[in-house]
Amino acid sequence: MENIPVTAYSGFSNVRGEITLRKVIENITKGIHAKLIFKIRLLVSQGKMEEANNVKKQLPFYTVTAGYREKRQAYSITRYTHIILLDIDDQPEEKLEGLREKINGDPNTLASFLTPKAHGFKIFVFMRTKYATTLRESLAKTGMDFSTLEKHHRIMYDTCKEYYEKLLDVEVDGSGKDISRGFFTSFDEKAYLNEELMKEVDETLADIIPPEKPRPGRKKTVSEKVISGKLISEKTVSDKVMSDKPEGGKAEAEPWERMEFNKAVLAVKRISKFEPGKRDCFIFALGNKCYTKGLEEEVVMRLAQEKFGSEEFNAAAPIHNAYIYTDRTTEANMRKEEEKPDTIHQLLDFLKTHYDFRRNIIMDRLEYLDFNEKTEKWIGKLRPVRATSYNAIFLELQLTGIKCSLDYVKAIVNSSYPREFNPFTDYIEKLKPWDGVTDYIGQLAETVQTEDQGFWKKSFRKWFVGMLACALQDEAVNHLVIILYSEQGKGKSTWIRRLLPPEWREYYRNGMANPENKDHQLMLSTHLIINMEEFDGARISDLAGLKRTITQESVTERKVYDMQTLSFIRRASFIASTNNRLCLQDIGGNRRFLPSSVISMDYRTPVNYEGIYAQAYALLNGGYQYWYEGEEIDELNRHNEMHRMKDPVEENLLVYFRKPEPEDTCVKWMPAAAILSKIAIYGKIQVNRQAIQTLVLSLEKYRFRTRRNAQGSTEYEVVDLQNDEVNKGFGK
């Protein structure tokens, strides 16, 4: 089916129009209601569930399984789409992406998206199994009565529920089995729609015989009022059935009241059954639930009578008795609560006594130490806070007798309560000061023997101090990249990895940095060294992006599930290893790169971490210049020429032309295009815009004199070498 219809509502009951499923998913992807969704998720993260639910009621509400004409009630049904809506809730954040992959990867998933609270998924299912297909085909195409359709839907729902619970290994919310089940819109950039499966969805079932619209009955009247706080009995309430309309001409129950009432009914059904002999207890428990939800007694009495009342059973009396009893119990509990210590202080005292929390500002994560840790691996060590960590803390609180919700615990722990922790400054500030004499950095550099040892030692010292500056100083950026060239098996990667002390090993990464990848960009803030092992496979276009990344001062990105884009401090420094001597390609200069040809490496001698970092810290505080400037850059560029792969255009320029000498008489002034024409003929070079750009850069690099001709074109002073001169040049 090209366009699957979806019914839209004003509130939760009154139909206001229709929209297509494709448009709903498109709106969710674009974030049409992102502002409200962000507010809901913020309130949830703060443990304000009631406020989050109130904001959620402001979102558009839809139904897809069934369509309705006037109201979301059985008598108003107009169609049935065969699409089953499943809910997965209360899932930890770290499981969401894994669940998403499984959901969207299944061929029976028509659509899915993250719920407004970001704790689960809405899944739209069109089962294609043989059993489901047979079940759909067994339905009559015309004259289908509603009760038969309802039974069919329950069977299909249970089939889908069982299938996805087995697929995902999580529980599907069983309260959504009604045909009228609806859903709120959301915001999910990864919302999924299976276009191929859309084409296989059967035509909607439209010829449905709905039940009759309920007619108003006689009004229920209460014959007596409560006197002196005594509970009323069923005999004091009229045996006549309550009307669908409230007494005294009041408006019917609000949609949100009906929704909360139905939730209370489902909650009670989990622990009790509405059956002869237990009906009073069931309705009394329902009254307790509704009281805690803040529903008015009169509204609940009427709704209970509508749903459970009959000629033989009056549901109003147990509701009234529950409200009187609960009201008195609540007052007594409030008096007791006044005598109890404040929950938040109880919780804080417990956390201080049993745990040490800190916020790692580099990784932007919470870490904790359990003073009563039983696992040997973690005794005396801090580790990242996971979902299981929160659950373990919550369990300890309950066993201790401190009653609070899991969300309440999360809100306290993930607040300003934990101390801030910077692993870089923490390590450096604990080091003994450098003695000012021993050259620990030089000793480390000597473990690598290169073809130009003087250049290597100087460049490594600059890079190492720059790396520490980038880690410690928010405004500092290390613009230099060490490149180690040698054959395979020299131990380059091992030597690089050992530059960081054990306390910093998790801030090391292998791999190229892709400027277009958001995760790679964020690694510039969360890692200290990025080792680009695949550097010899980098293309010119990759190097252009890499240069931008190397000089990037900060990272501006929105983290997953974060509500806004933030700016993060750049802390990473780059180092590379390659098996290709000619690893540089930029004709315009490579002053960011510090290549060295390695002869041998000693990666087994222990590294004196305290010495090298204390010395680097002292040099940094002493104003050491960890960058190149002036004549140093010219010297660096000359060194880098040994590691630069020249373009064929550049090489052929020097074969067929040269700069004039003072005694030359055969000097020509030629535009770049004319020079390229000869190079293209003899050097088999393709003439294009890239080639002309390379030629101009080469002419400027080798400082050929220029002038402007009468037409305004730039001409270059050259000596056009003849064939015998070219051949003579090859013989040298």
Domain ranges of the chain: 5-209, 254-339, 343-421, 440-643, 648-731
The letter for the amino acid at 238 is S
- Give residue 617's identity as a one-letter amino acid code: Y
What local confidence, expressed as pLDDT, does residue 409 receive? 92
Give the H or E element holding residue 69. none
pLDDT per residue over 523-539, tens digit each?
888 899 999 886 765 66
Give the per-residue pLDDT at 242.
Answer: 40
* Residue 12, C-beta contacts closer than 8 angstroms, at least 6 positions apart: 61, 72, 182, 255, 256, 258, 259
CB of 543 within 8 A of CB of 585?
yes
What Å distances lie between residue 667 and 148, 309, 654, 717, CA to CA? 99, 111, 15, 7
Q: Contact 577/530 with Cβ under 8 angstroms?
A: no
Distances 181 to 188, 251, 661 between C-alpha atoms, Å: 21, 24, 89
Residue 249 reports pLDDT greater than 60: no
DSSP state of 71: B
- Would the pLDDT of 24 be above 90? yes
> Above 80 in pLDDT, residue 561?
no
H or E element in which residue 553 lies: none
Out of 90-94, 239-243, 430-434, least confident range: 239-243
How high is the pLDDT of residue 542? 65
Q: What is the C-alpha to C-alpha distance for residues 519 and 504, in angstroms, rounded to an integer?
A: 20
Lowest mean pLDDT among 219-228, 532-541, 712-721: 219-228
CATH number of 440-643: 3.40.50
- Which pLDDT score, from 0 to 100, does residue 336 have? 53
Instruction: Give the residue-averaged pLDDT of 582-589.
Output: 72
Rounded (10°) angle between helices 689-701 and 648-656: 60
Determine whether 664 is exposed, middle or buried from the number of CB atoms within 10 Å of its CB (0-12, 13-18, 19+).
exposed
Question: 529-532 and 573-578 as β-strands: parallel, antiparallel, unpaired?
Answer: parallel
Q: Which ranges of 1-109 would DSSP assign to H, the alpha helix?
A: 21-30, 34-45, 49-56, 93-105
Rg of the chain taking only CA atoms, in angstroms: 38
As a three-state string, the secondary structure of 671-697 is EHHHHHHHHHHHHCCCCCHHHHHHHHH
Alpha-carbon distance 732 to 604, whole Å? Answer: 46
- pLDDT at residue 238 tops 60: no
Q: How far apart are CA 730 and CA 732, in angstroms?
A: 6
- CA dist 724 and 414 (Å) reads 79
Instruction: Give the model's confidence band at 710: pLDDT under 50 very low, under 70 low, under 90 confident, else very high.
Output: confident
Q: Which residues pair with 557 in a beta bridge?
A: 566
Average pLDDT for residues 45-54, to the nearest whole number?
Answer: 86
- Measured at the CA of 540, the angle between CA 535 and CA 546, to 5 degrees, comes to 60
Which listed CATH number (1.10.357, 1.10.10, 3.40.50, 1.10.1060) goes with 648-731?
A: 1.10.10
Strands ordered across the beta sheet of 355-360: 383-384, 365-370, 355-360, 419-421
Residue 1 to residue 199: CA distance in whole angstroms: 5
* pLDDT tens-digit readout, 500-513: 999 999 999 988 77
- For residue 43, is pLDDT > 90? no
- Position 536 scores a pLDDT of 63
pLDDT tens sequence across 293-308:
888 888 899 899 888 8
722: its two tokens: 């003849």
What pLDDT, on a 0 to 100 scale, did the predictor assign at position 703? Answer: 86
* pLDDT-wise least confident of 205-214, 231-240, 554-563, 596-605: 231-240
Distance CA 576, CA 511 (A): 9
**pLDDT value, residue 498:** 94
Q: Which 3 state secondary structure label does DSSP give 41? A: helix
pLDDT of residue 537: 52
Instruction: Say whether pLDDT at 7 is over 60.
Output: yes
| Tens digit of each residue's pLDDT (9 = 90 or more) over 251-278 | 467 877 888 899 999 988 988 888 887 8
